Amino acid sequence: MSSETMLRTENLTFEYIRRDEEGNVEGITTAVDGVDLEVKKGEFISILGHNGSGKSTLAKHFNALLFPTEGTVFVDGMNTSDASNLWSVRQEAGMVFQNPDNQIIGQVVEEDVGFGPENMGVPTKEIWERVEESLKTVGMYEFRKSSPNHLSGGQKQRVSIAGVIAMHPKCIIFDEPTAMLDPNGRKEVIRAARALNDVEGITIILITHYMEEVIYSDKVFVMDKGHVKMQGTPREIFSQVDKLKDLRLGVPQVTLLAHELRQRGLNIPEGILDRKELVAALKGLKWQ
């Protein structure tokens, strides 16, 4: 494995076992089924899929919160199933969850950000440095003395992100971080994630079902029923509008419009990602 690899899964399979009241096995649900994927350091990856496609289950494997039933997961070359790697895996691969209220532990913003470093046994003075630095990174430094209950959803998620950055991870997994936020909050969180990727070079794995959020990523994986059904750059993925529809996923409005126009005979390229591109393509058309 090259040193450039951040995450790698080999034939990763995970089964949820359902039991009845007596504890007998009632049925087995395979949430993730034979997934092989590789993420390089510094990449911005998105994982798409509708509800129940196994994308969140997959994400929890990268942080050693779940362990594979079959196959292996490597985080920075460490096998997550190996108990001696547990804490280094969790430190290197931070995780931001969906519900901002349920992942903030501290009663004051700065205390929450300090929670991770405290657990890692970082000396007091360095905790303060890390807290200050990470709150500044996400632009929440002026709120350091506030109670999390007084913040908006987007601000709470930024505090959660700061809490992860303070642990100095190499990779951050965002598990549907915007699902409970309003459009403004969504923008705040995605902007913070992109900045971390651009400026700090942290590998980002964004799990989402909002198409608009994935257009900035280097690579997109589309999941369905526990399998990776499609992978490629956002442009490659979004040029296959019909295939995405089969997987019950929509595409960004602009992409859809361009697709429909193309089908009606306009000569514009597939996989248009934003409004500017569409305008340029339309301007380039010759009137017949």
Partner 1 sequence: MLRDITLGQYYQTDSAIHRLDPRVKIVATLVYIVSLFVVDNFIGYLIAAAFLVLAIMKSNVPAKFIFKGMKAIYLLLLITMLFNLFLTPGEPLVTFWKLKITKEGLKIAVMMGVRLVFLITGSSIMTLTTTPNQLTDGMESLMNPLKVFHVPVHEISMMMSIALRFIPILMEETDKIMKAQMARGADFESGSLIQRAKSLIPLLVPLFISAFRRAGDLAMAMEARCYRGGEGRTKMKPLAYKKWDIFAYIVIFVYLCAMIAVGILF
User: Alpha-carbon distance 121 to 61, whole Å?
Assistant: 24
Query: Residue 108, interface with partner 1 (CB under 8 A)?
Result: yes
Query: Residue 141, interface with partner 1 (CB under 8 A)?
Result: no
Cα within 13 Å of Cα(117), Cβ side: 24
Buried b (16+ CB within 10 A) or exposed e, 260-288: ebbeeeeebeebbbeeebbeebeeeeeee
Q: Which stretch binds partner 1 (CB under 8 A): 39-47, 119-127, 199-207, 210-218?
A: 119-127
H-state helical runs in 54-177: 55-62, 86-92, 109-120, 124-137, 153-165
Q: Which stretch binds partner 1 (CB under 8 A): 97-105, 244-252, 266-274, 279-287?
A: 97-105
Query: Residue 195, interface with partner 1 (CB under 8 A)?
Result: no
Other C-beta atoms lying within 10 Å of the C-beta of residue 45:
25
User: Alpha-carbon distance 168 to 113, whole Å?
Assistant: 12
Q: Which stretch binds partner 1 (CB under 8 A): 23-31, 161-169, 180-188, 274-282?
A: 161-169
Nearest to 127 by CA among 111, 142, 140, 147: 111
Q: Which is nearer to partner 1, 94 or 234 (CB)?
A: 94
Query: Which of helix, strand or coil describes residue 222?
Result: strand
Q: Which is nearer to partner 1, 60 or 259 (CB)?
A: 60
Of residues 106, 139, 232, 250, which one binds partner 1 by CB under 8 A?
A: 106
Query: Residue 177, interface with partner 1 (CB under 8 A)?
Result: no
User: Alpha-carbon distance 69 to 124, whole Å?
Assistant: 39
Q: Which is nearer to partner 1, 136 or 150 (CB)?
A: 150
Query: Residue 104, interface with partner 1 (CB under 8 A)?
Result: yes
Of residues 11, 26, 52, 105, which one binds partner 1 by CB under 8 A?
A: 105
Q: Which stretch binds partner 1 (CB under 8 A): 32-40, 106-114, 183-191, 265-273?
A: 106-114
Of residues 107, 253, 263, 267, which one binds partner 1 by CB under 8 A?
A: 107
Q: Which is nearer to partner 1, 43 or 110 (CB)?
A: 110
Other C-beta atoms lying within 10 Å of the C-beta of residue 190:
22
Could you tell me the smallest distance in angstroms from the CB atom of residue 120 to partner 1? 5
Query: Residue 97, interface with partner 1 (CB under 8 A)?
Result: yes
Query: Which of helix, strand or coil describes residue 173?
Result: strand
